[in-house]
Structure 1
Amino acid sequence: MDIEVALKDLGPVDQVALSDAILALPQAAWEANRQRQQDYDVHRRTESVVLIFTDGEGWPDITVSRESGWEWLSDLAVPLMNEIVNTHYAPGGTIIRAMAAKLLPGEVITPHRDHHPSFHSGHRIHIPIKTNTRVRYTVAGQPYRMTVGHAYEINNQKTHSVMNKGADDRINFIFDYVPPDRVAGA
């Protein structure tokens, strides 16, 4: 969604329990669903644990499904997502995507804009789980750092990218929230 700024710090969040659960996941959980990497070329060098997903087909009348990551993380992720939504956005909308996303050391998510209409309508929220000093986000040509313990909304309608020049993974929990005035039938 075009939020008029490139990146908005939503403030502190208590992500510790979710972080612990994500960091304890076996490698098999990261490899269980490769759809995002297959569908979006810019994410081919990432790994994901997907809880909720839609490909957006038929927008705005879409199907949102629970994926393999639901059983691993939903008990901790859903309350945190609800807390962020209730604090910062109009209630009554829908979360249409939610995942833990890993960018491996030395990898890059190349500059891109999210073009599908669902990305025009939804807020894209990032919760850093693990990062390092050599991770750089660029949105609309400006560099940013996201810190663990805060949540952020990214303007996915601006050109954005991520590079991980560090020796450790970058892991964010990411979800898309579509507010009630943009939900089908509203």
Structure 2
Amino acid sequence: NRCAEFATSATVFSPRKITEVPETQLRVAFDGDDVLFSDESERLYKTHGLDKFLEHEKAHENKPLDHGPLKGFLEALGKLQQKFYPKGQRLDCPIRTYLVTACSAASSGTRALKTLRSWGLETDEALFLAGAPKGPMLEKIRPHIVFGDQMFHVEGAAELGTVAAHVLYGVAQKFQSKTVRDVKKDTSVKQLE
């Protein structure tokens, strides 16, 4: 059932001490695979390794990825943002969105950006970290919430003071090394459905 496939669920981790965030601008950060996009690329990487993944992404650079569970949320934020653009508030829009992914721009960045364009969507910033930790970038952009599919990144964000939501979707869930029960005691956990 296609509806059940995208009945998104996320576990929200509220850190004990939250990083100071802007009061006049809502900032939302999304991971790519398994969050905005389907788990197609992640599944290939996990099952066939980096070389096959890179080969596949290059060969399919112009083929949009299928949508992931939070595409609709990005669409809704985009519609809200567009209400401010005619008023000359493009740069000072009270909503700002980010794509923050551990992938590199060279390996899958082009496909990710082309996919967003094919959907008629965009993010204000697309950050391809090429395997670098997301924490330092999250400290710079100070989002109100970050959505990710891998507990490693979600826990890292929460430890730095960012509210983080673990999106329960995709092949990455089969490869998790930690579960919700393993989360440190200083983090408050809420289940959203």
Q: TM-score if structure 1 supplies the norm length? A: 0.30
Q: TM-score if structure 2 supplies the norm length? A: 0.29
* Higher RCO (Cα < 8 Å, 6 or more apart): 2
- Structure showing greater radius of gyration is 2
